[in-house]
A and B are shown apart, each in its own frame.
Chain A
Amino acid sequence: MAASQHRTTLAVKPYKLALAGVAATSLAALAACGEAPSDTGDGNGDASFMACMVTDSGGVDDKSFNESSWAGMEAAAEENSDIEVDFKESSSEADYDPNLQATVDDGCNFIVGVGGLMAGNVTAAAQANTEIPFAIVDGVASDAEGAPIDVENVFSIQFDTAQSAFLAGYIAASQTESGKVATWGGLQIPPVTIFMDGFVEGVEHFNEAKDDDVEVLGWDVESQEGTFINGFEDTGEGKSTTENFISQGADIVMPVAGPAGIGALTAASENDDVEAIWVDTDGYESTDFGAELLTSAEKGLAEAVKTAVLTAYENKDAESAAAAAEPYIGTLENGGVAISPYHDFDSVISDETKQEVEDLQAAIIDGSVVVESPASPASE
């Protein structure tokens, strides 16, 4: 027996205990002297329409696409008091099926699955429950093998973020002094590489238009190979990856890695002549490093999810679930993706460049400039 024989004395002297007790009680008393409220109303408890969301791993507070989608759900509930929203978090793909089943069992009237990985599971649930409309964020209805299929009560919510990243790439190319810009990603998955494709193409467009030779480090559209830090959490890794690019001469960096991208902003803040571009949200508002950001390539997840929920609500009395919502692809044209204001760099970026970016945006919208990425959502 390896157990120790001596007594571990954890008993506290009685007077100390009494003292601690008095302290704790008075603290509790101070905290508990408030007035009793007259009424307890909570949220939209008696709403007639329930919209539910099943998250991917990461949960509703992942500071990334799950959180943005949930913000959209909450915004819908805020706008219409007859809508109640609810979520189920998944910690891995093993949890998708029970969570989707639970939302069905709970009587949800509209179910949103977040993330392309869940597409097969959402589709299967939709086929088993044809009376309920389902939506997939960043994915399309597909069978278990991942082949796209047509299921009438499944709606896709997708974003052609290559378009906003294209503009970001153009701005980066116009602002670099070293002639080198960089981008890197979290994982090599479509919602990440689509930004990197657009960024590189934007830089190439600048080179053609201005006969310049700005180089992009970290991503090759042709071979679809580049720099990834194998996750979305490690800000330390994000910082060292960025410093690596800085030492190779890059002075503008666009991280596409959710929270890990903060590492790039830290690195930019420590190097005077290095700036960064944020993705997904306007980083000037969502991060503490607004002063480092030229702009952001936004993806309007929250707005799209909110619209989907509200549309489903309006069509709740429709004959079939098929009429409840519409497939959605966020583009520059419908405002689903966008380039953020320049904020602190408004005075730095020349009016000429601003005009060019606006012209380019118009050209993308009218189709005279086409941004292509293998990861772009297929238009239907």
Chain B
Amino acid sequence: MSNDAQAPATDKSEPGPKKAPFGVVFLRYMTEANSVMVTVYSLLMAFVIGAILLIVSDEYTRSTFTYFFSRPQDAVYASRDIIYESYLAVFEGAILNLNTLDRFAAGTAELGDLLRPISETLLYATPLIFTGLAVGLAFRAGLFNIGAQGQLIFGMMGALIIGFSLDLPPIVHIPLAVAAGAIAGAAFGAVPGVLKATTGAHEVISSIMLNNIAALFLVWALSTSFLHSDTKTDLVSKSPDASATLPKLLAWLNPSLRVNLALIIGIAAAVLVWWLLSKSTFGYRIRAVGFNEHASQTAGMNIGRTYVTTMGTAGGLAGLAGAALALGVGSTGITTNTALEYGFDGITVALLGRANPAGIVAAALLFGALKAGALSAQPDVPVDISILLQAIIVLFIAAPALVRAILHLRIPRGGLVTLEAKGW
């Protein structure tokens, strides 16, 4: 288990043999395969590969390459345009639409219109914050929680059931429904922990299998009259009461801005996980078991209980993602599609964020931005570009040796840093 936040710090405290000028130190840092620069280069390289794929996937640009030698400028200009326009479109969909900015400056657009891309980015990032934390927390205990998807699905159902079955004022109903999501996720998440503690069953295997169980359970549950919508005939659940629906944060600016209270809960959860890991006894136990379970056991820690509580807490975090979906964007009822792949994306978020709460929030924001941007940039840009970039980024992050070899970076003191779960 590695603690990467320290890697750059040790670097700075040990400058070269002599006190080198800032520029040299900076350059040296830039050309070293430390965890920060590997992340930066991974992102850059992903966007370069993405650009190549954009050229290849665009029919017109591809056609200009068939006569490259008779009129090369066509291909060059077409490639430049497609890259520029595609990435600009993604940027405009995720952060700031330049047309809207012009209209805003001219007074024909409202502030709400200007904030829509950001609102969408935050909306899509929210479930990823939770599932990223769910995977990241388990990483720190040396556990690989692949079960976030299933935990999320159970959290979704838990939050939804409390959301439509009770009649309460919002101030009580919302916290109760959100808590129900966390508890349902925690209960489902604890199962692989219990299995590992009592029988030694590997959590990777059991949590993958539990994902399938959860997904199929949802299909069945949606068809029961208890969960199935009373009014719709499609396979969709009842919708939560208005009193349990998460309030939109920016509805006062424009009701179409969809970012909701779940974002605040997500950031609070990230702070809580940070506090848990760095300040609490529970967190100390998690990290100790993650570093060396045998030593922890010898020191008198209850390893089995740590597995169960860690997986339970992780499950609770993923369950919150489910609550965010069921009571937020899915507030007209959930379907088999609502959960998408958020649980699995949580793994990539945790990897990119290096299992560190602040990093996870940043990674979730990046992936949320890619998703929101790609959605609005289609069909000129294939919507799958966000998934593609996500995959390439993680590929590089997970293989620092590859990044080092491609860019001929130096190996930092202490070696290359890869994030890994133990227990294989």
Contact = CB atoms under 8 A, between A and B. Distances in A.
Interface of A: 1-5, 7-11, 28-29, 31-37, 40, 42, 57, 59, 86-89, 91-95, 97-99, 101-102, 116-117, 120, 142, 144-147, 187-190, 230-231, 375
Interface of B: 1-2, 60, 63, 65-71, 74, 120, 123-124, 216, 219, 223, 229, 231-236, 239, 256, 258, 325, 329-330, 332, 335-338, 340, 372, 375-376, 378-379, 383, 401-402, 404-406, 411, 414-418, 420, 422
Given A32-B67, A87-B379, A102-B376, A7 B411 contact: yes
B66 A3 contact: no
A8 B235 contact: no
30 contacts: A1-B415, A2-B1, A3-B414, A3-B417, A4-B415, A7-B411, A8-B401, A10-B406, A29-B69, A31-B65, A34-B66, A36-B70, A37-B63, A91-B383, A92-B335, A92-B340, A93-B329, A93-B330, A93-B338, A94-B325, A94-B340, A95-B375, A97-B256, A116-B233, A117-B335, A145-B231, A146-B229, A147-B231, A190-B233, A230-B216
Contacts of A29: 69
B418 A3 contact: yes
B234 A117 contact: yes
Nearest to A192: B235
A57 B415 CA distance: 44
Contacts of B235: 187-189
Contacts of A231: 336
Given A3-B415, A117-B234, A145-B239, A10 B405 contact: yes
Contacts of B71: 36
B219 A230 contact: yes
Nearest to B117: A98
A117 B234 CA distance: 7
A332 B411 CA distance: 72
A116 to B, nearest CB: 5
A98 B375 contact: yes
B231 A33 contact: no
Contacts of B422: 2
Given A32-B66, A37-B67, A230-B216, A190 B379 contact: no
Contacts, number: 130
Contact of A116 (B69, B234, B239): B234
A147 B229 CA distance: 11
B383 A57 contact: no
B335 A10 contact: no
B329 A94 contact: yes
A10 B70 contact: no
Among B63, B65, B383, residue most surrounded by chain A Cβ atoms (within 10 Å): B383
A34 B65 CA distance: 9
A188 B123 CA distance: 30
Contacts of B418: 2-3
B233 A189 contact: yes
A92 B338 contact: yes
Contact of A34 (B67, B219, B325, B330): B67
Contacts of B216: 230
A196 to B, nearest CB: 14
A187 to B, nearest CB: 5
Contacts of A117: 234, 236, 335
A94 B376 contact: no
B267 to A, nearest CB: 20
A105 to B, nearest CB: 9
Nearest to A374: B233
Nearest to B420: A2
Query: Sorted from nearest, which 4 A-B pairs have the closest CB atoms?
Result: A32-B68, A10-B405, A146-B232, A146-B231
B234 A190 contact: yes
Contacts of B67: 32-37
A102 B417 CA distance: 43
B70 A34 contact: yes
Given A10-B405, A190-B234, A4 B120 contact: no
B416 A3 contact: yes
A99 B416 contact: no
Contacts of A5: 415
Given A8-B405, A146-B229, A31 B66 contact: yes
A229 to B, nearest CB: 10
Contacts of B379: 86-89
A99 B337 contact: no
A31 to B, nearest CB: 7
Contacts of A32: 65-69
Nearest to B60: A42
Contact of B256 (A33, A36, A101): A101
A258 B120 CA distance: 32
Contact of B332 (A1, A93, A95, A98): A93
Contact of A2 (B2, B329, B401): B2
Contacts of A37: 63, 67
Contacts of A31: 65-66
B218 to A, nearest CB: 10
Contacts of B420: 2
B77 to A, nearest CB: 12
A93 B66 CA distance: 40
Among B67, B332, B340, B405, residue most surrounded by chain A Cβ atoms (within 10 Å): B332
B383 A89 contact: yes
A375 B332 contact: no
Among A3, A8, A32, A144, residue most surrounded by chain B Cβ atoms (within 10 Å): A3
A145 B164 CA distance: 13
Given A88-B379, A99-B375, A375-B233, A4 B335 contact: no
Contacts of B325: 94
B337 A92 contact: yes
A298 B256 CA distance: 39
Contact of A1 (B2, B223, B375): B2
